[in-house]
Structure 1
Amino acid sequence: MYKFSPLTDDAAEEIAFQWKYDGEYSFYDMTADQEDLEEFLSPDRSGYYAVERNDELIGYFCFQRDEAGQLEIGLGMKPKLTGKGLGLEFVLEGIRFAIANYQTSALSLSVAAFNKRAIKVYEKTGFESIETFKQDTNGSTYEFVRMNYEPKGEK
C-alpha cells in the first residue's frame, strides 16, 4: 500500500542529500543541479508529495500544470529500489493519484533520453513518446524525451 503525503522539509532533505544514484544515473542526484536543489528545498513545495510504503520513504512525485493546463509529472524513487522491477507499480500509483486528485486524465513527463529503463516503464504504463528536445541542466545540455499519457481504459 502506497501513502502519498505533502513533502515535508525532513523528507526533502533526505532525498536531496542522502539519495545518491550509481553511474550515469547520478544525473538524478538533487545536488547535481543547484537550481533544481533550491526548488526542491524551497518551503513552497506545492504539488510535491512524499511516497511511503510500509512506513518507509520510497519516492516522491511532483505534479504541476504547464501553460496549456496539462498536468506534468516529476518523480523519483529511492536509489536502492531502482532497477528491481518496482517502477511499474510505483508509476501506476502516481498516475492513479494524479487522476484522482487533479481532475485530469491527460499527463505528461520528460525523461533524460539515456534513461532507457525509465522510458520502458513509462511505456508499459501507457505513456507514449511525442518529441525529443535539448535542455540545459546539470552544467551541460542534455537530450530529453517528452511523453504523454491518456488512458485507453482502466489500468
Structure 2
Amino acid sequence: MDFQLAAMTQEQAEEISFNWHYEGKYSFYDMEADVEDLKEFLDPETRGDMFYSAMKDGQLIGFFSFEKTASGTVDVGLGMRPDLTGSGNGQAFLMAGIAFARETYKPEKLTLSVAVFNKRAISLYKKVGFQEVETFRQDTNGGNFEFLRMVYDCKGRDRS
C-alpha cells in the first residue's frame, strides 16, 4: 500500500471523531471516548501542525501525530480506519508514518505509547523495530489505564 501524508483538514478531523468506531475493547480508541482529547482533536488551533491524514487512492485510511520533544525525539500517535484494522495493512501503514517522521523531523528516536491490552499493535510495533521501554498508568477515557512506552532507534537504519 502506498500512503500519502498531508496536514489534516477540519473535515477529516470530524470524520475521524464522529464516524470511526472500533469494535469491542478497541472502542477505547474512539475519539469520542475521551471528551478532552476529542475537544483538542477538533480544534484546529490546538491540533496545529502535529496531525497528518494518511490517504490511499484518495481515501482517508488513517492519521498520524508527530510531536518533537526538547531532546529531539519525536513522539508518534496513530490510528487506522476501523474497517482496515486487523487485516494485514498495519505494517505498511506504520512504515509510511515512520518514513515521514524520519524525513520531516530527522529524529534520533521515535517513541509511542500503547495501551497494554492492545497486543495486536504491540506485536506490530516490535516487528518493525520498536523496543519496550517502560509501563506507566494514565488517567484517560474516564479511568486509569496501563500503557507501554516503546522506542524506535533511527540511527543506523536505512532511510529508504
Instruction: Tell me if both proteins adopt one fold, taking TM over 0.5 as the criterion.
Output: yes
Q: For 2:122, what is the secondary structure of its paired residue?
A: helix
| Structure-2 separation of matches of 1:130 and 1:68 | 16
Q: What is the root-mean-square deviation in Å for CA atoms of aligned residues?
A: 1.1
Name which of structure 1's ranges 4-13 and 42-51 shifts more when overlaid on structure 2: 42-51
The residue identity in structure 2 corresponding to 1:149 is Y
Aligned to 2:7: 6
Q: Give the structure-2-normalised TM-score.
A: 0.93
Residue of 82, 89, 101 corresponding to 2:104: 101
* Cα distance between partner residues in 1 of 2:100 and 2:71: 21
- Per-residue deviation, residues 80-116 of structure 1 (Å, max 9, x unmatched): 0000011011001100000000121410000000000
Give ranges in structure 1 of 5+ residues lacking alignment. none
Q: Which residue of 1 aligns with 2:21?
A: 20
What letter matches 1:153 in structure 2? R
Give yes or no for contact 2:52–2:65 (8 Å, CA) kept in 1.
yes
Q: How far is the alpha carbon of 1:70 from its aligned partner?
A: 1.5
The answer to whether residue 156 in structure 2 is matched with residue 149 in structure 1 is no
CA distance in 1, matches of 2:86, 2:108: 27
Q: Once the two structures are superposed, what CA deviation does each residue of 1:9-35 show, in whole Å capped at 9, x if it has no partner?
A: 000000000000000000000000011
Q: Which amino acid aligns with 2:133?
A: I
Q: Distance between the aligned counterparts of 1:66 and 1:105, measured in 2?
A: 11
Matching of residue 64 in structure 1 with residue 67 in structure 2: yes
For structure 2, the residue ranges without an aligned partner over 5 or more in a row are none
8 Å CA contact 2:67–2:75 kept in 1: the answer is: yes
1:108-147 counterparts in 2 under 5 A? 108-147=111-150
Task: State yes or no: 1:73 paired with 2:68.
Answer: no
Question: Who is 1:43 aligned against?
Answer: 44
Q: Is the 8 A contact 2:72 2:107 kept in 1?
A: no
Aligned residues: 155
**Is the contact made by 2:113 and 2:150 (CA closer than 8 Å) also made in structure 1?**
yes
Compute the displacement of 1:67 (Å): 4.5
Percent identity reads: 49
